Amino acid sequence: MLTRIAGGRVIDPANGRDGVGDIWISGGRIVEPPQGARAEATYDAAGKIVLAGAIDIHSHIAGWNVNTARLLLPEYHAVAEPRPSVTAASRIGLNSHATGCLYAAMGFTTVVEPAMSPHQALQTHLELADIPIIDKGALVILGNDDYLLGLLHAKEGEAAVADYVAWNLDASRSLGIKVVNAGGAAAFKENVRSFSFDDVVPSYGLSSRSILKSLQRAVNGLGVPHPLHVHCNNLGLAGNAETALTTISAAEGLPLHLAHLQFYGYGKEGERGFSSAAAPVAEAVNATPSVTIDVGQVMFGQTVTISSDVLRQFNARNQARPRKWVIFDGDSNGAGIVPYDYRRNDFYNAVQWAVGLELFLLISDPWRVFLTTDHPNGAHFATYPEIFALLMSRDLRAQWLAELPPAAVAVTTLPSIAREYSLVEIATMTRAAPAKLLGLADRGHLGAGAVGDVAVYENDPDRAKMFRAAALVFKDGELVVRDGEVVSYRWGRALTVRPDRDRAIDRRMRAYYEDRYGLSDELFRVPEHALSRPEPFELVPCAR
C-alpha cells in the first residue's frame, strides 16, 4: 500500500531536513516521492510536526528483575480496576501490554531493555515478545561473571575475551553489552559493601577499571555498534561525581556509554553534604567526544528501583518506600528491587531532579545526551512528555523550582540555565542520535529506505500534551495510533547483533557449564523456535 503523510513540518535531523513536505511509505518502508503515483491512503498532517518513531535506549521493561518487582508490588499493576484502587502506586504501570501501548501513544517505536542477565535471556525474550507494537532490543550484562573474571585473572588475552563476549551476544540474542558496577557484585559476594573504580575484587585480583577496559576493548574490537554500556560504581552516593569523572577519563578515546548519569552527578557541598555536581560532569562529557550518556531523570512520585547493582541496592534497602524489598545475590550480578517514592518536598529528591535537568541542558551536543528516566528507577517512562516540556521552557522550570525546598535549589545551577531545547534538538536526542548510537541505520530518520516508523504530533504549545498523545503513529507503515489511542496491534521484533567469533569458544562454554554446573549450555541459549512470533529477531550488522 502506498501511503502519504501530507503537508506536515518534517523534522529529520539525520538528513538535515526541516520544512513542510510529504512522507511516502510503501511496503513498510519510507520511499522517495513516487512520480505521478496516487496514494492509496493520505493522512493530512498540515500544521503538525512529523518525526521518525522515537527510540528509547534504556528502559527496564522485561526480565527477571522487572518481574520480581511486579510480584513484589501487585498494587503497582495498571489493571482495569486497580487494586487497591487508591494507592499512589496504582498509577504506575509495569505490565507488558501497557508498556507497548504507552510507548506507541507517545510515538516511540523501538525500546531497549538494558539489563538482561545472560542466564535469564530466554525469559526476557519471552516477555519482550509479549509487548505489542514496538520493536525491542536487550543489552546483556557481563562484568561480574565467573567465566569472564576467570579469563582476566588467567591473563588469557584480548582475543579470548572478545570470543566470550561474542558468544554471549549470540547465545542471549542481545544488541550490546552492559556492565553494572564492574566487579562490585562479585566483591559483594565476599561481603564487600563499598566498591570504587580502582578497588579490587578479592578472589580474582581484578580492579573495576581493568574489567571495564577489557569489555570496552572487546565490544569495540568486535565492531558491535553500541559502545560498552556502563553503570558506574557508587550509584546514588554523595560525592560520586568523582566516580563519573574518573570513568569518563578512562574512555581513553574509545566509545563508552554512561547510563543514567544523573545518579552520578552528586557533590558534597552545603550543610547536608549533598549538592549538584552536574556542571563539572557535563563539562567533562562536553570535552570527551567518545563518551555518550543518558540521563536517568528523576520525576516526583511513587516508583520502584530495579537494578542489577546488588551492592548498592543492598545498601539502599532500608530506604524502601513502601517497606519491602528483594535482594538477590545469585547469578553473576544478582539484583535488587527497592520501591521508592521521590518527593517534591524532600531535599535530596529535589536535588536529584535538578541534576538530571542540568545534565540535559549543560551537555551541549544533542547527539551525545539521551532521554531516559532509567524507567522505572528515576520515574516511569510515561513522564517523558513532562520532561520534554521542562527542557523546552525555562519558564516552566522556574515554576517547578518555585515549589522545591529553597535549600535544595541553592545547591544546583538549574535556575541560572537559560537554554531551551528546540524541536530539532528533541528530534535529534530521541530519534537520530539513538539510531546512530545503536547502529540502526534504517531507524531514527525519514529518508528513503528507513522503516516506516513515523510519529505525527499536533504543534501544541503545551509540549507535554503534544508528546503524550501523538496524533498519528505508523509502525512499519501501518497506522497503530490515532489521537493517542492505539487503533491497531502488531508484534514487533527484537534487534540483535552476532559478531564473528572463533568457534572454539562454543566448545569451551559447553565444557564450562557441564564441568562447573552439570548443565548443558543449551539451557541458556535463546532458540528462535521458543518465541511464537513470525520472524522474532532482526540482525543488526556489526562493523567487522
Binding-site ranges for Zn ion (CB under 5 A):
374
Q: Cell 495498571 sits at which residue? A: 78
Name, in order, each residue with C-beta under 8 angstroms of 99's C-beta and a sequence gap of 6 or more: 61, 93, 111, 131
**Which of residues 141 and 251 has its CB atom nearest to Zn ion in the complex?**
141
Strands 2-12 and 48-52: parallel
Would you state the cell numbers that stand for residue 269, as one nine-digit string?
A: 557541598
Taking CB positions, which residue lies at the least distance from Zn ion? Answer: 374
- Rounded to 5 degrees, what angle do the CA atoms 358, 260, 496 make? 135
Task: Confirm if 88 and 301 have CB atoms less than 8 A apart.
Answer: yes
Q: How far is the CB of 325 from Zn ion (least distance, A)?
A: 17
**Which of residues 372 and 412 has its CB atom nearest to Zn ion in the complex?**
372
**Which of residues 69 and 531 has its CB atom nearest to Zn ion in the complex?**
69
Question: Is the preceding omega at residue 202 within 30 degrees of 0, hence cis?
Answer: no
Alpha helices, H only, 35-135: 64-72, 96-105, 121-129
Q: How far is the CB of 335 from Zn ion (least distance, A)?
A: 11
Residue 378 pairs with which residues in a beta bridge? Answer: none
Q: How far is the CB of 178 from Zn ion (least distance, A)?
A: 8
How would you class 200 by CB atoms within 10 Å of its CB: exposed for 0-12, middle for 13-18, buried for 19 or more?
middle
Q: How far is the CB of 204 from Zn ion (least distance, A)?
A: 25
- In a 3-state reduction of DSSP, which class is residue 31? strand
Task: Confirm if 496 and 485 have CB atoms less than 8 A apart.
Answer: no
**Which of residues 90 and 247 has its CB atom nearest to Zn ion in the complex?**
247
**Which of residues 213 and 229 has its CB atom nearest to Zn ion in the complex?**
229
DSSP state of 205: T
Q: How far is the CB of 194 from Zn ion (least distance, A)?
A: 21
**Which of residues 58 and 397 has its CB atom nearest to Zn ion in the complex?**
58
CB atoms within 10 A of CB 35: 5
Q: How far is the CB of 460 from Zn ion (least distance, A)?
A: 31
- Between CA 303 and CA 66 the distance in angstroms is 12
**Which of residues 140 and 401 has its CB atom nearest to Zn ion in the complex?**
140
- Between CA 171 and CA 173 the distance in angstroms is 6
**Which of residues 374 and 425 has its CB atom nearest to Zn ion in the complex?**
374
Q: How far is the CB of 58 from Zn ion (least distance, A)?
A: 6
Q: How far is the CB of 359 from Zn ion (least distance, A)?
A: 16
Q: How far is the CB of 374 from Zn ion (least distance, A)?
A: 4
Q: How far is the CB of 302 from Zn ion (least distance, A)?
A: 18
Task: Confirm if 482 and 469 have CB atoms less than 8 A apart.
Answer: no
Pick the closest to residue 388 from 439, 301, 462 (CA basis): 462
**Which of residues 331 and 374 has its CB atom nearest to Zn ion in the complex?**
374
Question: Is the preceding omega at residue 322 within 30 degrees of 0, hence cis?
Answer: yes
Task: Confirm if 331 and 117 have CB atoms less than 8 A apart.
Answer: yes
Alpha-carbon separation of residue 148 from 136, 151, 162, 204, 529 (angstroms): 27, 5, 10, 10, 29
Could you tell me how far CA 171 lies from the centroid of its own chain?
Answer: 21
**Which of residues 209 and 375 has its CB atom nearest to Zn ion in the complex?**
375
Residues 28, 543, 429, 100: is their CA dihedral positive or negative? positive
Q: How far is the CB of 256 from Zn ion (least distance, A)?
A: 16
- Rounded to 5 degrees, what angle do the CA atoms 462, 133, 299 make? 40
**Which of residues 92 and 401 has its CB atom nearest to Zn ion in the complex?**
92
